[in-house]
């Protein structure tokens, strides 16, 4: 079933003529309802399996939305156009009748007639929750079946659905504000993020901006032989991904990370892992091998924790920072949520766990890693203004540690979204995420860290303390950047924001596949242009040569379409003077400088960032075309 919920000032409708052979008998040919929640409803083929269950799912979703918008007046409006696979009229009418009867216990319910062509006028209120779409099957989930069998949520997922959260905005002065009452002036993205988190609707109804860009730039594409959660990377995309992977890994190792490698599959019946699976809210891929059931990892926790269990650890080794860049981690995300690089089923996650002695050590290390995460994102080109922070904890922990939490808020320098619970149901007592809000107003978590107070004991990890007694460490879970694919997504969405306001979209120079495109004005200057290209490449600059038989204007336009960072046109004047005319992406005027000055500028801007050559021929005439 699909619904579109519209919180409205009014709706008025009038039945015109029959749309099916036996429509519902008209009680009111026309009606106007003021101050209401209008539910455009399309019952689908899959709902024919169990109309009663579908009706219950419809009621549950309507109640959830009505509670959020504080509305007690419901208008059920059958609207077959929401679906390409509508049910038969008998099922649709039965679902609506059942839902109406149950809703009348708590709401004033109106219904537009079923089976009629109708004219209607509606005025939607326009607040962040005034237009909400949902899709669910007879069991009430966004997908009723996965991998050929019924979805089985683990215990943590079930608890997460029942979780009663208290949502606040915490400002830099330590004041708590209700989400609906906070003054968001100057914090418009925080407003979008806050309502997105409260709604918890992850489905995407249109293509995000970065998807067209990743294809156009020949970076990443969908793989027709796989599903939407597994992508193909072309040479330029693989280069960018590899550079980000190396940069994040270097920063973690500088921080003190001890790099390891662990398996991607684990026994479902391993006694420790079976318990952990029930405490981690993620859907697993499951496979069979040698008559045993395994799951594909969705984080690096399993291998690192089992390794820590077997290790001999002293208090002198703490904090012990185990690190792995998982290529890949797997989560069986719902198909309606899969979208480009934003949400995948196979993803690359830098995961660094720290074993610490006690809660005081945990909070000290938490702050160090908090600063590390901000630094990693900022240096990669995702700055504090691009991020919205969420912090999740219990009321008790918040009250006892408010100065510590406020210090985190002051570090990021702007209000954050605070989610609190009466009691802890997860394995962590404190968690934060830095989130990016994209062009569709969808939020995605990047960096994160958690203070885990359960898994040290669950996995039997021990360290020998100063007094010679073996004790159980606490564990911090951190990804300094979030999934590598999401970093790429955020950078492309950020470029799309620039494009939308008339700025030139671009990638950070250290990630740009072509940092310098050399263009000879005529064939006679190709050798000299090749010489310049080679000299730049020797100094670790990704330079290439457009040696194709095209007009110079077309070559320049092609370089702009590829987002080349610098374009250098070589002719007689340049050969004679030794000066290079640089078209810097995003700048209006040409900049003239010597080759040595240009090299120095590039090195200065990309200092401390990793370098890789572009795995394509340097001459454009020799390159394959992957897209287009």
Give tens-digit pLDDT for 158-171.
555 556 778 999 99
pLDDT tens track for 109-136: 999 999 999 999 999 988 777 888 888 8
* Under 8 Å between Cβ of 447 and 373: yes
Contact assessment for residue 491 and residue 379, using Cβ atoms and an 8 Å cutoff: no
Cβ contact 496:213 at 8 Å = yes
Q: Where are the domains of the chain?
A: 2-150, 189-492, 509-622
> What Cα–Cα distance (Å) separates residue 137 from each residue in 41, 63, 339, 444, 514?
13, 17, 21, 25, 47
CA distances 547 to 236, 315, 368, 463, Å, are: 19, 62, 50, 63
- What percent of the chain is predicted at pLDDT more than 90? 78
Instruction: Looking at 182-328, list the stretches that DSSP marks H as alpha helix, in order from N- to C-terminal side.
Output: 188-199, 209-216, 235-255, 271-277, 301-310
Neighbours of 106 (CB within 10 A): 13
DSSP state letter for 594: E
- Contacts of 399-408 with CB under 8 Å at 24 or more apart are 401/363, 401/430, 402/174, 404/363, 404/367, 405/170, 406/170, 406/172, 406/174, 407/367, 408/367, 408/370, 408/432
536-556 pLDDT, tens per residue? Answer: 999 999 999 999 999 999 999
If you search the block for the tokens 């007592």, which residue do you land on? 429
Confidence of residue 598 (pLDDT cuts 50, 70, 90): very high
What is the CATH T-level fold of the domain 509-622, as seen in this structure? Rossmann fold (3.40.50)
**Percent of the chain residues topping a pLDDT of 70:** 94
| Matching residue, tokens 């799912």 | 57
DSSP 501: T
Does the structure show a pLDDT above 80 at 196?
A: yes
pLDDT band, very low/low/confident/very high, at 156 (cuts 50, 70, 90): low
Q: What is the pLDDT at residue 161?
A: 53
Q: Is the model's pTM score more than 0.75?
A: yes
Cα distances from 386 to residues 171, 188, 443, in angstroms, run: 17, 11, 11
- Using pLDDT thresholds of 50, 70 and 90, give the confidence band for residue 22: confident
Query: Residue ranges of the alpha helices (H) in 381-483?
Result: 395-400, 402-412, 455-458
Q: What mean pLDDT comes out for the span 45-64?
A: 91
Superfamily covering domain 189-492 = Bira Bifunctional Protein; Domain 2 (3.30.930.10)
User: What would the CATH number be for the domain defined by 2-150?
Assistant: 3.50.80.10
């Amino acid at each position: 079933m699909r619904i579109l919920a519209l919180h409205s000032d009014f709706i008025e409708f009038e039945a015109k003529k029959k749309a099916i052979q036996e429509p519902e008998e008209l009680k009111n040919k026309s009606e106007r309802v003021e101050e209401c929640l209008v539910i455009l409803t399309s019952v689908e083929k899959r709902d024919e399996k169990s109309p009663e269950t579908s009706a219950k799912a419809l009621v549950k979703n309507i109640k959830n939305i009505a509670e959020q918008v504080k509305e007690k007046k419901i208008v059920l409006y059958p609207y077959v156009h929401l679906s390409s696979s509508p049910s038969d009229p008998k099922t649709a009418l039965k679902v609506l009748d059942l839902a109406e009867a149950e809703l009348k216990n708590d709401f004033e319910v109106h219904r537009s007639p079923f089976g009629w062509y109708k004219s209607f006028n509606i005025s939607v209120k326009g607040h962040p929750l005034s237009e909400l779409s949902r899709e669910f099957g007879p069991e009430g989930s966004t997908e009723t079946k996965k991998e050929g069998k019924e979805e089985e949520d683990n215990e943590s997922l079930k608890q997460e659905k029942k979780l009663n959260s208290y949502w606040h905005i915490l400002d830099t002065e330590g004041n708590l504000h209700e989400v609906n009452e906070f003054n968001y002036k100057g914090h418009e993205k925080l407003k979008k993020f806050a309502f997105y988190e409260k709604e918890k609707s992850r489905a995407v109804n249109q293509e995000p901006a970065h998807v067209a860009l990743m294809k156009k730039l020949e970076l990443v594409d969908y793989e027709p032989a796989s599903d939407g959660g597994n992508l193909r990377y072309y040479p330029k995309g693989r280069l960018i991904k590899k550079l980000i992977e190396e940069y994040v890994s270097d920063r973690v190792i500088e921080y003190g990370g001890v790099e390891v490698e662990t398996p991607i599959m684990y026994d479902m019946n391993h006694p420790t892992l079976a318990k952990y699976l029930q405490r981690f809210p993620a859907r697993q891929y499951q496979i069979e091998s040698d008559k045993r059931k395994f799951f594909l990892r969705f984080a690096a926790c399993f291998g690192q924790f089992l390794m820590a269990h077997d290790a001999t650890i002293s208090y002198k080794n703490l904090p012990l920072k185990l690190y792995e860049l998982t290529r890949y981690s797997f989560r069986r995300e719902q198909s309606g949520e899969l979208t480009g690089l934003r949400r995948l089923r196979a993803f690359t996650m830098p995961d660094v766990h720290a074993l610490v002695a006690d809660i005081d050590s945990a909070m000290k290390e938490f702050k160090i890693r908090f600063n590390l995460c901000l630094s990693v994102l900022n240096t990669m080109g995702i700055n504090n203004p691009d991020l919205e922070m969420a912090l999740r904890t219990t009321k008790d922990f918040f009250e006892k540690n408010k100065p510590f939490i406020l210090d985190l808020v002051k570090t990021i320098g702007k209000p954050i979204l605070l989610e609190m619970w009466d009691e802890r149901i997860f394995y962590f007592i404190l968690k934060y995420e830095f989130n990016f809000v994209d062009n569709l107003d969808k939020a995605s978590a990047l960096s994160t860290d958690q203070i885990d107070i359960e898994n040290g004991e669950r996995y039997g990890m021990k360290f020998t303390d100063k007094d010679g007694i073996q004790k159980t460490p606490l564990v911090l879970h951190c990804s300094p950047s979030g999934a590598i694919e999401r970093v790429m997504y955020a950078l492309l969405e950020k470029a799309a924001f620039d494009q939308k306001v008339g700025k030139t979209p671009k990638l950070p120079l250290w990630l740009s596949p072509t940092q310098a495109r050399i263009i000879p004005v005529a064939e006679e200057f190709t050798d000299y242009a090749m010489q310049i290209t080679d000299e730049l490449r020797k100094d670790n600059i990704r330079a290439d040569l457009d040696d194709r038989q095209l007009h110079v204007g077309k070559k320049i336009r092609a370089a702009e379409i590829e987002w080349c960072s610098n374009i250098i046109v070589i002719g007689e004047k340049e050969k004679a003077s030794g000066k290079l005319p640089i078209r810097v992406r995003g700048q209006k005027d040409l900049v003239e400088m010597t080759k040595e000055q240009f090299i120095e500028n590039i090195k200065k801007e990309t200092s401390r960032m990793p370098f890789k050559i572009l795995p394509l021929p340097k001459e454009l005439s020799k390159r394959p075309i992957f897209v287009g």
